[in-house]
Structure 1
Amino acid sequence: MTLERKVAKVFNLTDENWLKHSNPWSVWTRYSVLPIIIFAFWSRLWIGWWCVIPGLISLLWMFFNPIFFKKPKSTKNWASKTVMGERVYLNRDQVSIPKIHNSPIYKILNTISSTGMLLSIWATVNYSIWGAILGVALAYLGKSWYLDRMVWLFEDMKNNNKAYKSWDY
């Protein structure tokens, strides 16, 4: 079982919920999570321990966002294809992907994104605005580039698999 499949189980990404997550609103609003978490915990200066409430709300938003929106009317857009590509990638242990997509770039991009998240956490603890800005920028640069690679993977795979083709409507 791939790590991505384990993560998908945590987020309850069933077939139906993958389709909901492919709604562009789901994809684009997930970009709000990290800045909201940072702001929520940064607000401990102003509201003390009450900052836990917006922090928990933002974490709940991260968890429920993939299933909050309705199935999109069409998946013929970049945002939807990122989700479909992620689904193809997590399924690589059952359906082989082309060699060009078996490169270490996915790990590199996830490392960049994770480094940005860690820097953001450090910046939040230490009240470093520039650290937070750089951390969010790195996290989103790595994640966005990774998602773009997922679109490429989906485009390469959709015509080779009946199930994948059905996601493209």
Structure 2
Amino acid sequence: MTRKNAAAAVHGMSDETWKRHANPWSVWTRFASIPAFELAVWSRQWLGWWCLAAVVAVVVWLWLNVRLFEPVGPTSWTARGIYGEQLHVDGKVPVEHKMTLNWLIAAGLAGFALIAWGLIAMNVWPLTLGTVTVVLAQLWRIDRYGLLFQQYLREQSADGAT
């Protein structure tokens, strides 16, 4: 089992769950969870250990999020991106996409490291820079996944036409 498959298994990502996660409401509300999580951690300044209740609430929301919305087909930009992400998790990524996706994943991890630094040190600038980096990397990844999915559909229709 690869790391990607393990992460999908931890989140209980079935085909139905991927279709629900493809709903634009799921995608955009997950983006909104980034500052919510940061605020929950930052609130330790005011709430002490009670901030963990807010952190747990965000984590539970992230788990529920991919299950709450109606399943959708690949009709929107975000939905095509999520369907492409599923292809990535399933190991169906053509070589020409792998390097870009790896760089975008690395950029997202660097942004996450900056977020962690900002939250640990209670320093706004690495937190802000990290958040911007994570969001931009994720948006670019969704776009790349959408291209991957469209390429996959073209290849499937070409294989079926021959």
Q: Do both share a fold (TM > 0.5)?
A: yes
Pairwise mapping of residues 137-148 of structure 1 onto structure 2 (< 5 A)?
Answer: 137-148=132-143
Cα offsets for 1:126-148 (capped at 9, x unmatched): 11111111010011111111111
Partner residue of 1:151 out of 122, 125, 146 = 146
- Percent identity of paired positions between Structure 1 and Structure 2: 30
Structure 1 gaps of 5+ residues are: 163-169
Q: Give distance in 2, aligned partners of 1:85 and 1:137.
A: 23
Runs of 4+ in structure 1 over 4 Å off: none
- CA 1:114/1:152 → structure 2, altered by over 3 Å: closer, same or farther? same
Higher helix share: 2
Q: TM-score, normalised by structure 2?
A: 0.89
- Return the letter of the residue paired with 2:83: M
Structure 2 gaps of 5+ residues are: 158-162
Name whichever of 59-68 and 114-123 sits farther off. 59-68
Q: Which residue of 2 aligns with 1:88?
A: 87
Q: Give distance in 1, aligned partners of 2:18 and 2:156.
A: 17
Partner residue of 1:114 out of 104, 109, 128 = 109
Any conservation in 2 of the 1:123–1:129 contact (CA below 8 Å)? yes
Aligned residues: 157
Q: Give distance in 2, aligned partners of 1:150 and 1:98.
A: 11
Q: Give distance in 2, aligned partners of 1:91 and 1:79.
A: 18
SS, match of residue 67 in structure 2 = helix
SS, match of residue 153 in structure 1 = helix
- Return the letter of the residue paired with 2:80: K
- Return the letter of the residue paired with 1:147: I
Q: Give distance in 1, aligned partners of 2:94 and 2:116.
A: 36
Q: Give distance in 2, aligned partners of 1:26 and 1:15.
A: 15
Q: Which residue of 2 aligns with 1:100?
A: 96
- CA 1:122/1:98 → structure 2, altered by over 3 Å: closer, same or farther? closer
Q: Does 2:58 correspond to 1:47? A: no
Any conservation in 2 of the 1:21–1:27 contact (CA below 8 Å)? yes
Q: Give distance in 2, aligned partners of 1:129 and 1:100.
A: 37
SS, match of residue 161 in structure 1 = helix
Q: Which residue of 2 aligns with 1:5?
A: 5
Q: Which residue of 2 aligns with 1:67?
A: 67
